Structure 1
Amino acid sequence: MKRRVVITGMGICAPNAIGLPAFRQAMFQGVSGLRHLPELEALGFRCQVGGIPEISEQILHEYFSTLEIRGLLSTGLIYGTVAGIEAWKHAGLVMADAENPHWDSGIIFGTSILGVDKFRESILKIDQGNVRRLGSTAVPQTMASGISAFLAGKIGCGNQVSSNSSACSTGTEAILMAFDRIQNGMADRMLAGSCSDSGPYVWGGFDAMRVVPSGFNEEPERASRPMAESAAGFVPSSGAGALVLESLESALERKANIHAEVLGGAVNCGGQRGGGSMTASNGKAVQRCITEALRTTGLKGAHIDVINGHLTATARDAEEVFNWSQALGRSGADFPLINSFKDVLGHGLSASGSMECVAAILQFEARQVIGNRNATDLHPEISQLIDPSRVPLENTPSSPETIAKASLGFGDVNACVIFKRYD
């Protein structure tokens, strides 16, 4: 018999706030984490706006030893560690003792690019003939599984410890991978999440592709405009989100605080066919991913109360809304409330799914749907398909029973997870 899976802990390291209490306040107050970055201006970037979590020395010393901090350059590793450990503690869990790992606890924590700054430092030292000066942390800071391995050592997890990488769908996919492992009885709890490095070496390729906005450098808080007619491209950002998934039996036995239930979901790929490409989604594949997520959960399209879309503030936003409409069989005033958090978070790339899942779940407890503050000029293709009231500009009182969250990534990959209120 399949086990029910719930969320008992969450952690966040986002451009607009670090730590769950501050993040909750920032999201519901519409605090933007996007700002003008002089470094990008000096380097000649077209888009000089970005989102970077502000890590203080106090935060570093709270999560890392003095020895670990020495030579620590991987921003993604920092963000992921902060979010992951916060989620673990938020769930009321403790670190394993020195001899016995938590055999029933594992980690799936993904990323797309880790340790770019450390790579740069290492390349320069090697080219200068200083390979002996690389130090012992170059490998764990730059290997793809560095974040999951580092967290496993901090917490002491003895179950599966792995990292996934599926571009912008990484975080949502990690949650579904953890869900499958618990549902099938292979673990009692899993720490799932994702992180992304920050800075020009990560974002430069997007600037070169001209998929980012260049007209809002003096108005950074207006730069990311999901579902708006004036949307001119996504604003790159970084950070990490983390969730503790746990079997319902384990959570009840521990008397843990349950924030939501994970009903299920689906992942797929459009094969870069039918209009899909390395940078664009195959619409049919997106629809199939959503309908498969519904099938696995036993829900119908009519059961979805809120959608948190991928919605990156590009020309593809209207098509994504169309795909939701087709998959759910709903339009006009019957369409669910829909929002995107990239107006205040920017596009966190591989971290986007996990950060946005944390924010989506907070809506259950707040009994509010977070507004789309920059969608003031709703795209006409969207307003023709659904009632504009379904894209609220301000926080909207609501008590959703179900929230569907999708993440769509480079390479035409998709992930959709469905959360349910737990009473």
Structure 2
Amino acid sequence: MSGFACASSCGLIFKSKESERNVVSLFQYNGLRAVESIRLGAIRCNPKSSISTSAAKCGRIKAMASPTVSAPKREKDPKKRIVITGMGLVSVFGNDIDMFYNKLLEGVSGISPIDRFDASEFSVRFAGQIRNFSSKGYIDGKNDRRLDDCWRYCLVAGKRALEDASLGQEVLETMDRTRIGVLVGSGMGGITAFSNGVEALIQKGYKKITPFFIPYSITNMGSALLAIDTGLMGPNYSISTACATANYCFYAAANHIRRGEADIMVAGGTEAAVIPTGVGGFIACRALSQRNDEPERASRPWDKDRDGFVIGEGSGVLIMESLEHAMKRGANIIAEYLGGAVTCDAHHMTDPRSDGLGVSSCIIKSLEDAGVAPEEVNYVNAHATSTLAGDLAEVNAIKKVFKNTSDIKMNGTKVRNLFTTQSFTGCLSSWHRKGHRAAVVCSARLPSAFSRSRRDERKFDCNFVESLQLRI
């Protein structure tokens, strides 16, 4: 079992009062307090860069004060500092970041009964299934019919992220594309293509297996296809580490930039396992909630009646870029990646260590790499599998690292691009899955809509959430 942790803070571009002279300031945050301002004179600023993130168009986000602390030393070299300049996704709420974010703030659930196949005989009959997906404008008709959904989601999310970063095809053609890499991972890969190939072998013989069986099954195909379509010739491969896949990709992508091997990395995860083989396999693992009578309330992290997670599908991709490169092209800076770490429980295929040592050590190493003190953290994006052992171990780990949790907001998440909860979107194994764990610690602002419970009849197990202020 592997784990990943990353720490990030807001690195926002603001137009100053001297904007007439194209002077821009990048504010570095210590928690939520601006502690330094870098003058970026004579830089062409993207018109939409007055503040970060597409989410700024949505609900207002209220900040929570961080204690004043002395932060460890952080990276100053703009060639090694890494910022996020674009986001793209495919989800149960569609492919638009703003729509996705608004649905979350409104508390809309994307979990529903499975209708892609006959699941009437399955003990679990619901999921975060994507419906009415369209790749129009992103994938040509022939390839769209051939591709596994896993790769269709990846291509759309990746290209939308590039567009969001103002890196459309015309712009890319003017750039050194050997300095732009792709690292989009998948926990399951093209499981539909694999299942269809096995079925053809059994029913019709090996001569009836499609030549696309192997290429569209293996997990690196998302990165490969995205690079082929866009001409990106930098580092290109995929990582498959179950629940932590996309986070491992972010970590590895950041290191490529830090080492000077790339200026930009397209990184993320993609998954499409809501098929009989995928659902049946997770049922066999006894990992899924079986609340067929109330699917919208099935994922119940930290609840005394929790009984497993909800499977989902989709893709999430970020554009990671060196600060120097982003400033030179006047990119809209959404956030800054500060650091990360990877660890292994070395314990069991699915069950965590009860003391949460693998998680806590990963968070500590991540904070050290990022130059962030534990006292600066005011929001924890938890793995929160909604499993009996997983939730308990994770909370134990968090309490071990963060001695005073009274000012920390903690959210149970599965598909994490913004402030997502599994009850809304389902579990994407490329982001999180039982067994492998990922902990994201950030100094982001928490939407006020999530500052209180949206569910009735919560029964928290006070034995292990006693000192945490949980906001679910």
The TM-score with structure 2 as length reference comes to: 0.74
Tell me which residue corresponds to 1:381.
Answer: 463
Shift of the 360–18 alpha-carbon distance from structure 1 to 2, 3 Å rule, reads farther
The equivalent of 1:347 in structure 2 is 427
2:299 match: 224
**Cα distance, 1:137 vs. partner?**
3.2
Letter in 2 for 1:91: A
Cα distance between partner residues in 1 of 2:164 and 2:443: 14
Write the distance in 2 (CA, Å) between the matches of 1:63 and 1:136: 23
Q: Which moved more, 1:240-249 or 1:335-344?
A: 335-344
* C-alpha distance in structure 2 between counterparts of 1:247 and 1:202, whole Å: 38
Correspondence 1:294 to 2:367: yes
Q: Deviations over 1:3-28 (max 9, x none)?
A: 10000000111223322121111121
TM-fit CA distance, 1:33: 1.3
Instruction: Point out where structure 2 has 5 or more consecutive residues left out of the alignment.
Output: 1-76, 414-420
Q: Which residue of 2 aligns with 1:75?
A: 149
Q: CA RMSD in A?
A: 2.7
Of the structure 1 ranges 60-69 and 306-315, higher mean CA displacement relative to structure 2 is found in 60-69
* DSSP-derived class of the 1:150 partner: helix
Partner of 2:121 in structure 1?
Answer: 44
Equivalent residue number for residue 207 of structure 1: 283
The separation in 2 between residues aligned to 1:46 and 1:371, in whole angstroms, is 32
How far, CA to CA, are the matches of 1:209 and 1:285 in structure 2? 22
The residue type paired with residue 256 of structure 1 is A
Residue 306 (structure 2) pairs with residue 240 (structure 1): no
Deviates more, 1:39-48 or 1:60-69: 39-48
Within-5 A mapping of 1:22-421:
22-38=99-115, 42=119, 44-56=121-133, 59-72=134-147, 74-95=148-169, 102-129=177-204, 131=206, 134-198=209-273, 199-214=275-290, 216-272=291-347, 277-282=348-353, 283-315=356-388, 316-331=390-405, 333-340=406-413, 341-352=421-432, 364=445, 373-374=454-455, 376-386=458-468, 390-393=469-472
| Aligned-partner Cα distance in 2 for 1:360–1:238 | 24
Distance 1:54 1:361 in 2: 32
The one-letter amino acid of 1:66's match is: G
- The secondary structure found in structure 2 opposite 1:241 is strand
TM superposition shift of 1:322: 1.8
Give the secondary-structure state (helix, strand or coil) at the position aligned to 1:291: helix
Is the 8 Å Cα contact of residues 89 and 97 (structure 2) preserved in structure 1? Answer: yes
The one-character-per-residue Cα deviations of 1:181-204 (angstroms, maximum 9, x if unpaired) are 112211100000011122221121
Deviation at 1:77, TM superposition (A): 0.9
3-state SS of 2:136 partner: helix
Q: TM-score with structure 1 length normalisation?
A: 0.82
Q: 2: distance between equivalents of 1:286 and 1:364?
A: 23
Q: Which runs of 4+ in 1 moved over 4 A?
A: 38-41, 96-101, 128-136, 359-372
Partner-residue secondary structure (3-state), 1:89:
helix
List alignment gaps of at least 5 residues for structure 1: 394-423
Supply the distance in 2 between the matched residues of 1:34 and 1:144 (Cα, whole angstroms): 26
CA deviation digits over 1:193-243, x for unaligned, max 9? 0111222211212212222222x2121111111122221111111111100
Distance 1:133 1:99 in 2: 44
